[in-house]
């Protein structure tokens, strides 16, 4: 009886190991994870290691064909060191084919074909990008060499009070870590006190951010009490009104940007992507043109952030939505 029980237990362990192995290979070696995200291109090698001979450099955005799911072991190819932490670039080597070449590439630099830029937000995230440093599960990556990257920082004094915010040009890298649910990384080496990132295809101006001197870089909208904090209401630049329509699934609060004779509705109820302003708000001259820009929470549960730039607005607008940062379906 004891021997039989031991056999059953051992069989269960072996079956569990087998299915775990199959599951891990299915997850790590998704055949749709085949688009190169390395800005400088991804090296294909003759063997699954960094010391092997290079066959070809595959440019950013190109697709490779995954040949099979063989397991070559978890490998850290290098480590990116930032001010706050180390970022090991690790994953698995995969055997692929590209333009007649057959070899091995490291899947920390491969992404799935699905892209939020084309699935949810038409004409957004092309000339401007709003990003958050760190890891999420959005599976959205960009060719860092195509953009000027600005980091927006705010330090605190010895008593914890926020100081004058500032922006500066930074370098941004993207990696895709193999065994993390939220493994899509936006990496900045100078990440201490970094709040958010804007990428642009044209350089921003050099004016200082003075609208919120000695105040926090963002302000909360108290959606439960339907009230805005005092800084939001200053000079009546933003108004909130009750919506009498019952069609919207995103709530009953309508928000307007106001200046002179212009009142611009920020969260329209119609369209493919109705939005709801929740608890994230930034009001500042972000692009250095001397006019206020905005960042708002968008969508159900604030799953996205929207960047509104005044420099892109038409005569009937105060600011235009130019980029949407989506945290991803599981974050």
pLDDT digits (tens, 9 = 90+) for 90-106: 888 999 999 999 999 99
- Look at residue 9 and tell me if it is in a domain: no
Question: Tell me: the pLDDT tens digits for 241-281?
Answer: 665 555 555 455 667 888 888 888 876 655 444 445 555 66
The tokens for 310 are: 């005044």
Residues 52 and 103 in one domain: yes
The tokens for 220 are: 């909360």
- Look at residue 76 and tell me if it is in a domain: yes
- Look at residue 21 and tell me if it is in a domain: no
**CATH code of residue 49:** 2.30.30.40
- 42: pLDDT confidence band, cut at 50, 70 and 90? very high
Question: 67 near 102, Cβ under 8 Å?
Answer: yes
Residues 107 and 126 in one domain: no
Given 73, 90, 112, which residue is the final one in a domain? 112
Residues 264 and 284 in one domain: yes
Residue 136 pLDDT exceeds 90: no
Q: What is the pLDDT of residue 16?
A: 43
Residues 60 and 178 in one domain: no
Residues 221 and 94 in one domain: no
Say what the pTM is.
0.79
Query: How many domains, the chain?
Result: 2
Question: Tell me: the pLDDT tens digits for 200-231?
Answer: 999 999 877 765 544 444 444 444 444 444 44
The tokens for 147 are: 């953009």
Q: Give me the domain span that covers residue 106.
A: 33-112
Given 112, 132, 147, which residue is the final one in a domain? 112
CA angle 121, 124, 126 (to 5 degrees): 135
Residues 121 and 105 in one domain: no
Residues 100 and 158 in one domain: no
- Look at residue 304 and tell me if it is in a domain: yes
- Look at residue 260 and tell me if it is in a domain: yes
- Look at residue 101 and tell me if it is in a domain: yes
Residues 305 and 212 in one domain: yes
Question: Tell me: the pLDDT tens digits for 256-267?
Answer: 888 888 888 876
Given 53, 80, 112, which residue is the final one in a domain? 112
Looking at the chain, how many residues does it have? 331
How far is it, in rounded angstroms, from Cα 255 to Cα 86?
A: 41
Residues 215 and 73 in one domain: no
Residues 121 and 77 in one domain: no
- Look at residue 91 and tell me if it is in a domain: yes
Residue 113 pLDDT exceeds 80: no
- Look at residue 8 and tell me if it is in a domain: no
For the chain, what is the mean pLDDT? 76
Residue 240 pLDDT exceeds 70: no
Residues 123 and 107 in one domain: no
Residues 183 and 106 in one domain: no
């Amino acid at each position: 009886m004891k021997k039989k029980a031991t056999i059953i237990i051992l069989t269960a362990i072996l079956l569990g190991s087998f299915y775990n192995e199959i599951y891990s290979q299915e997850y790590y070696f998704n055949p749709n994870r085949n688009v190169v995200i390395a800005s400088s291109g991804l090296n294909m090698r003759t063997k699954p290691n960094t010391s092997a001979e290079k066959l070809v450099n595959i440019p950013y955005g190109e697709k490779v064909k995954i040949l099979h799911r063989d397991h070559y072991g978890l490998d850290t190819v290098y480590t990116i060191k930032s001010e706050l932490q180390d970022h090991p670039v690790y994953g698995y080597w995969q055997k692929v084919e590209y333009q007649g070449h057959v070899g091995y590439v490291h899947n920390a630099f491969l992404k799935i074909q699905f892209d939020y830029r084309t699935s949810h937000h038409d004409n957004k995230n092309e000339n401007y990008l709003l990003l958050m440093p760190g890891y999420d599960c959005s599976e959205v990556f960009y060719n860092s060499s195509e953009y000027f990257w600005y980091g927006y920082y705010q330090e605190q004094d010895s008593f914890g009070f926020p100081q004058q915010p500032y922006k500066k040009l930074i370098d941004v890298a993207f990696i895709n870590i193999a065994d993390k649910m939220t493994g899509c990384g936006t990496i900045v080496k100078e990440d201490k006190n970094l709040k958010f990132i804007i990428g642009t295809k044209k350089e921003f101006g050099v004016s200082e951010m003075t609208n919120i001197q000695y105040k926090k870089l963002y302000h909360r909208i108290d959606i439960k009490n339907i009230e805005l904090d005092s800084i939001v209401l200053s000079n009546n630049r933003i108004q909130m009104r009750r919506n009498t329509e019952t069609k919207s699934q995103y709530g009953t609060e309508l928000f307007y940007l106001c200046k002179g004779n212009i009142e611009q509705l920020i969260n329209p109820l119609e369209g493919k992507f109705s939005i709801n302003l929740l608890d994230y708000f930034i009001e500042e001259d972000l692009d250095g043109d001397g006019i206020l820009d905005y960042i708002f929470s968008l969508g159900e549960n604030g799953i996205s952030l929207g960047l509104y730039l005044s420099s892109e607005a038409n005569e009937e607008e105060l600011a235009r939505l130019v980029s949407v940062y989506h945290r991803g379906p599981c974050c």
